[in-house]
Amino acid sequence: MMRGFFDPRQLKHAPRQELHNGAFVAHADVPLRAESVAAALPGLEPPGDHGEAPILGVHDAGYVDFLKNGARLWAEAGRPGEAIGYVFPVVGRRPIALSRIDALVGRYSYDAGTPLTPDAWEASYWSAQCALSALDAVLAGDRNAFALARPPGHHAGRDYMGGYCYLNYAAVTAQAARDAGVERVAILDIDYHHGNGTQHIFWERGDVFYASIHADPATDYPFYWGHADEAGEGEGAGKTLNLPLAQGADLGVYRAAQTRALDAIAGFDPGLIVVSFGADTFVDDPISRFRLETPDYAVLGTDIAARGWPGVIVMEGGYAGEALGRNVASFLSGFA
Amino acid sequence: MMRGFFDPRQLKHAPRQELHNGAFVAHADVPLRAESVAAALPGLEPPGDHGEAPILGVHDAGYVDFLKNGARLWAEAGRPGEAIGYVFPVVGRRPIALSRIDALVGRYSYDAGTPLTPDAWEASYWSAQCALSALDAVLAGDRNAFALARPPGHHAGRDYMGGYCYLNYAAVTAQAARDAGVERVAILDIDYHHGNGTQHIFWERGDVFYASIHADPATDYPFYWGHADEAGEGEGAGKTLNLPLAQGADLGVYRAAQTRALDAIAGFDPGLIVVSFGADTFVDDPISRFRLETPDYAVLGTDIAARGWPGVIVMEGGYAGEALGRNVASFLSGFA
């Protein structure tokens, strides 16, 4: 079994509700998710502390300040409940000095499903450290390593939260690998949802390839990104690959898409791969509509491992709390 | 007394709630607003029907389709309550074909305070017709004319709703005046809030001058637009003037700002002025923080009328329902 990293401070983040389809509903990112994975993977280690520098390698400093202080500012402003935006700078977005917390929440997010809880920063910080410790293990010679992360990360952009995500661990890890001398890094995103934050961070970069398999944004969150024609720009042109699939995809359909993504990554010839792994592709996932079964994840893991790239596997989504641990264990077993 | 126009279909639009500062609260744009103004202004006439063409002069056709059909699509999708977005394309906004109603609501709006009610289109359509009928009166030789409009309009952009607004009547009117041969049109926006939709529509236009006096967006909605450094671009460079004021402004402060705006408009030498008039600058307005008294509005109206430009006055905000009619009547009396 590969080494894995987990920090229990991830459990402190417990958002209560999200605005979804017109009403506030119970939030899907419950602490049970991380507990389920940790229970299924005995021997997880605590991460080392790499500080904020690698986080600032892909995230805006003002945004990081907002993550640290936003919940306190919200409470000080006398706002009820959790910090949720209600107005968003959809057009003409530009750097401006904003002070009112309600303005900041909208400025630094793109949805009303990602409350900035008092513990979001700490949980995200230590999740990032888990990813960086997994990278350390791989850079030190391990073939693969796993980071249990919660909340998830791939929807977070350089300066915005959204989709339950605050810090983008896959992006932090890819950038840290680049900074450590890995010339070309690939990110394979196999969460049910498109990782719009990761895509956006590396959109114009030629040194990080981003491939994502996800539910078609015509029907599924995040709607506005992940369409098949999105392929990067500038030096990043052709370095983004989006493979949207219709709802109902089973292993046959999914595996073929993953093979296509892996072939494209092989053409990029990376020195390291970061896998954004979400198990919300599971048939019983409560918020998603693919049909993967628990043993299928071992098949997908085996296919990735067969390519031979050193790999850091970072946890993204997966909301079937009880089954999540089994599905992650199955996936990691494919790398054994 | 100048001619005025009103259509009772404006009363059908009755949004129930808005997301504001972290919680759903009762919606401020109640039908009583229009009833209060209509009661204070005897003799209001029904508008003529100019069809959709003038609306499409400033609004995107896909957006207009969305306004007409969105509430039905929402209900057909089984969504509860009113159509409210929960995810917004804050970055990388581009034309894409979207079908899911939840995606459309976010695509065509920038906030969660503007529910697309089943009657929003009809109320907005007839409000636009009132503005166009007022323009007809002025183009036919009247010095000024008034359009009672509800919901308000100045936050609506070419392809987005927000800030209680769906169609931008001031923009429709200014464009219709241009199409009727008026070479230069000025819009004076004296609602409490910045008219970001109007500004955005004419941002790169040299033929329509936009001047706005409003609460500083550092403290007040819409936060991201209306800062003093926003002055237009391209052919519109220098054709946008933003005069943000600190909360607490009284007549002295406000009148000085209006004089500055009128002087700038005089330099533009318009053939017609459209006044976006909101009475939420009133001392007792429940959602705003300026300190104008009812008689002050007559002073402001007199100052505008003294410039001698033919003028169409279009109703924007104002949420002190009972007092709203008195404040509008006071303002219009300044033009007598």
In a domain, B107, yes or no: no
Which DSSP string do the residues of B129-140 spell out, in sequence order? Answer: HHHHHHHHHHHT
Interface test with A, best of B19, B63, B90, B196 (most A CBs within 10 A): B90
In a domain, B58, yes or no: no
What is the SS3 assignment for A114? coil
Tell me the chain B residues in contact with residue A87 when contact means C-beta distances shorter than 8 Å: 110-113, 162, 221-224
Tell me the chain A residues in contact with residue B111 when contact means C-beta distances shorter than 8 Å: 86-88
Is the pLDDT reported for residue B1 higher than 90?
A: no
* pLDDT, tens digit (0-9, with 9 covering 90-100), for A263-287: 999 999 999 999 999 999 999 999 9
What confidence score (pLDDT) does residue A166 get?
97
Interface test with B, best of A16, A18, A21, A202 (most B CBs within 10 A): A21
Contact B162, B197 (CB under 8 A): yes
Tokens 């202080």 identify what position? A69
- The residue-averaged pLDDT of B22-37 equals 95
Which DSSP string do the residues of B57-102 spell out, in sequence order? Answer: TTS-HHHHHHHHHHHHHHHHTT--SSB--SB---SS-------SHH
Distance from CA of B225 to the nearest CA of A (A): 8
Tell me the chain A residues in contact with residue B225 when contact means C-beta distances shorter than 8 Å: 89, 92
For residue A186, list its beta bridge partners: A209, A273
Q: Provide the residue type at A83 as one letter.
A: A
For residues A242 and B93, the model is more confident at A242
B149: exposed, middle or buried (C-beta count within 10 Å: 0-12, 13-18, 19+)?
Answer: buried
Tell me the chain A residues in contact with residue B218 when contact means C-beta distances shorter than 8 Å: 97-100, 103
Q: Provide the residue type at A246 as one letter.
A: A
For residue A19, give the nearest of B86, B218, B222 by CB distance: B86
What confidence score (pLDDT) does residue B321 get?
86
Q: Which of A155, A194, A200, A214 is catalytic?
A: A155
CA B34 – CA B316 distance, rounded (Å) = 11
* pLDDT, tens digit (0-9, with 9 covering 90-100), for A164-214: 999 999 999 999 999 999 999 999 999 999 999 999 999 999 999 999 999
Contact B313, B1 (CB under 8 A): no
Distance from CA of A259 to the nearest CA of B (A): 27
Is the pLDDT reported for residue A128 higher than 90?
A: yes
Query: CA separation (Å) from B325 to A234, A307, B32, B41, B317?
Result: 56, 73, 10, 7, 12
First to last CA, chain B: 6
Tell me the chain A residues in contact with residue B112 when contact means C-beta distances shorter than 8 Å: 19, 85-87, 112
In a domain, B102, yes or no: no
**What sign does the dihedral A69-A71-A76-A79 (CA atoms) show?**
positive
What confidence score (pLDDT) does residue A321 get?
86
Give the pairing type, strands B17-20 and B23-26. antiparallel
CA B126 – CA B49 distance, rounded (Å) = 8
CA B69 – CA A207 distance, rounded (Å) = 45
What confidence score (pLDDT) does residue B80 get?
86
- The residue-averaged pLDDT of B171-186 equals 98
Q: Encoding tokens for residue A310?
A: 């050193």
Is the pLDDT reported for residue B199 higher than 90?
A: yes
For A97, residues 6+ apart whose C-beta sits below 8 A from its C-beta are B218
* pLDDT, tens digit (0-9, with 9 covering 90-100), for B229-276: 999 999 999 999 999 999 999 999 999 999 999 999 999 999 999 999
Is the pLDDT reported for residue A113 higher than 90?
A: yes
For residue B82, give the nearest of A22, A81, A99 by CB distance: A22
Residue A155 is a catalytic residue: yes
Contact A41, A161 (CB under 8 A): no
Percent of chain A with pLDDT over 70: 100
In a domain, B283, yes or no: yes
CA A136 – CA A151 distance, rounded (Å) = 21
Percent of chain B with pLDDT over 70: 100
Query: For chain A, how many structural domains are there in total?
Result: 1
SS3 content of chain A, % helix, strand, coil (to 5): 35, 15, 45
What confidence score (pLDDT) does residue B92 get?
87
What confidence score (pLDDT) does residue B124 get?
97
Interchain proximity A112–B24, CB inside 8 Å: no
Contact B193, B221 (CB under 8 A): yes
CA A266 – CA A260 distance, rounded (Å) = 10
For residue A21, give the nearest of B102, B110, B225 by CB distance: B102
For B166, residues 6+ apart whose C-beta sits below 8 A from its C-beta are B67, B114, B116, B120, B121, B124, B151, B153, B156
What confidence score (pLDDT) does residue B275 get?
98
For residue A22, give the nearest of B18, B20, B80 by CB distance: B80
* pLDDT, tens digit (0-9, with 9 covering 90-100), for A26-83: 999 999 999 999 999 999 999 999 999 999 999 999 999 999 999 999 999 999 889 9
Percent of chain B with pLDDT over 90: 95
In a domain, A57, yes or no: no
In a domain, B60, yes or no: no
For residue A110, give the nearest of B88, B99, B217 by CB distance: B88
Contact A162, A144 (CB under 8 A): no
Per-residue HEC secondary structure of B150-187 comes to: CCCCCCCECCEEECCECCCHHHHHHHHHHHCCCCCEEE
Is the pLDDT reported for residue A99 higher than 90?
A: no
CA B162 – CA B106 distance, rounded (Å) = 10
Q: Which domain holds residue A324?
A: 3-50+117-333
CA A192 – CA A319 distance, rounded (Å) = 11
* pLDDT, tens digit (0-9, with 9 covering 90-100), for B112-125: 999 999 999 999 99
| pLDDT band with cut points at 50, 70 and 90 for residue A305 | very high
A98: nearest CA partner in chain B = B218
Specify the length of chain A in residues: 336
Distance from CA of A77 to the nearest CA of B (A): 10
What confidence score (pLDDT) does residue A335 get?
97
Interface predicted TM-score of the whole assembly (ipTM), two decimals: 0.93
In a domain, A217, yes or no: yes
Q: What is the CATH number of the domain that holds B192?
A: 3.40.800.20
In a domain, B27, yes or no: yes
A:B CB pairs within 8 Å: 156
What confidence score (pLDDT) does residue A92 get?
86
H/E element holding B189?
Answer: strand B185-189
| pLDDT band with cut points at 50, 70 and 90 for residue B39 | very high
CA B4 – CA A42 distance, rounded (Å) = 76
Q: Which of B59, B154, B155, B194 is catalytic?
A: B155
A78: nearest CA partner in chain B = B21
Interchain proximity B222–A87, CB inside 8 Å: yes
DSSP 8-state code for residue A150 = S
**What sign does the dihedral B44-B45-B49-B53 (CA atoms) show?**
negative
On average, the pLDDT of chain B sits at 97
Rounded CA Rg of chain A: 18
Contact A212, A226 (CB under 8 A): yes
Is the pLDDT reported for residue B106 higher than 90?
A: yes
